[in-house]
Amino acid sequence: MARSTVAVSTKPKPAVPTTVVTGGAGFLGSHLTERLLAEGHKVIGVDNLITGSTRNIEHLAGNDRYRFIRANVSEYIFIPGDVDYVFHFASPASPIDYLELPIPTLKVGALGTHNALGLAKDKGATFLLASTSECYGDPLVHPQKEDYWGNVNPIGPRGVYDEAKRFAEAMTMAYHRFHGMDTKIVRIFNTYGPRMRLRDGRVVPAFIGQALTNQPLTIFGDGTQTRSFCYVSDLIDGIFRLSQSDFHEPVNIGNPREMTIKQFGEEIIRITGTPSQLEFKPLPEDDPKVRQPDITRARTLLGWEPKVDFDEGIRKTIEYFRGQI
């Protein structure tokens, strides 16, 4: 686990840091914003709302330490005054989004990351990139450790997201090495919780939405492919801890508890009490067969591991979706 030997330029953080969150009206960006406000930060959220929603942040209206700017970070980012942290979370992040928005996905991974890094460099701010377990592609190593380079199809339909994030990681490390910037990279594994969009194409809202409306739960393939589900508050805690660390290489944040998609569907049926059945359909191209984080690095460096068990987290998520249907 090699630490960077680059001389990192950091400035003292004030008692009330000013933090920019791109993608601040999204699922993760809004939860991150709440955590930062709870930690005493002033937060400036930036989002163009192509997948984010002001509903996720409307409860922050009137908070004098929060400001929202509607803007496309792939075009330009202008923030007056001091900035101490930049968290770059802007990107379509679900299959239905990046398959419908392939060019904006590539742009925000490349141009958006470039602009966000430029902002952090100009302000002397700490930069944290929200990367993804999709950097590992359809992995040939299990569980996935940060030193695994991945098995990604760059020209497949999922390549627009996978390669956008891989490029964003490369650019972040280039700014760290060349400019001596204080940068962090989090590789986010499957995360769930309130504020997910009901029809965003991911398995958690898809199964819950189908179960609550007594529809069949759609399983692609035979259901033996695995995922590891992390509750959103655990994920955000890991990300915040990483932002306060002095580590610059990627860190997996996710829950190593692995289950098959079929098992997950059966759990949703059990907890919701729905009469729904499982319905099997062909597996999409390049769909990962396994996904499980090795979180040794997060445990060792950050003292972090997930605390919310699956049953507790999924019940909270189901209750949220009951109010959305």
Domain residue limits, the chain: 18-192+230-256+293-307
**CA–CA gap between residue 252 and residue 175 (Å, rounded):** 21
273: amino acid identity, one letter: G
The DSSP output letter for 108 is I
> Helices marked H in 244-283 — which ranges?
261-272
**Positions marked active-site:** 161
At 5 the pLDDT is: 61
Distance, in Å, from the CA atom of 83 to the CA atom of 245, rounded to the nearest integer, reads 18
- Look at residue 259 in the predicted model and tell me its pLDDT: 94
Tokens found for residue 77: 């980012």
Q: Which CATH superfamily is domain 18-192+230-256+293-307 in?
A: NAD(P)-binding Rossmann-like Domain (3.40.50.720)
* Lookup result for tokens 């993804």: 132
Q: In terms of Cα–Cα distance, which of 114, 115, 112, 43 is closest to 83?
A: 43
Which two structure tokens, joined as six digits, stand for 224?
Answer: 């033996």
pTM for this predicted structure: 0.94
Question: Which residue, among 175, 28, 34, has the nearest Cα to 91 in the 3D structure?
Answer: 28
Residue 277 pLDDT: 95
What is the per-residue pLDDT for 2? 46
Kindly list the averaged pLDDT for each block of 10 residues, start to end, along the chain of length 325.
64 92 98 98 98 97 97 97 98 91 97 98 98 95 96 94 98 98 98 92 93 95 93 98 98 96 96 94 81 96 97 96 90
d(Cα 37, Cα 66) in Å, to the nearest integer? Answer: 8
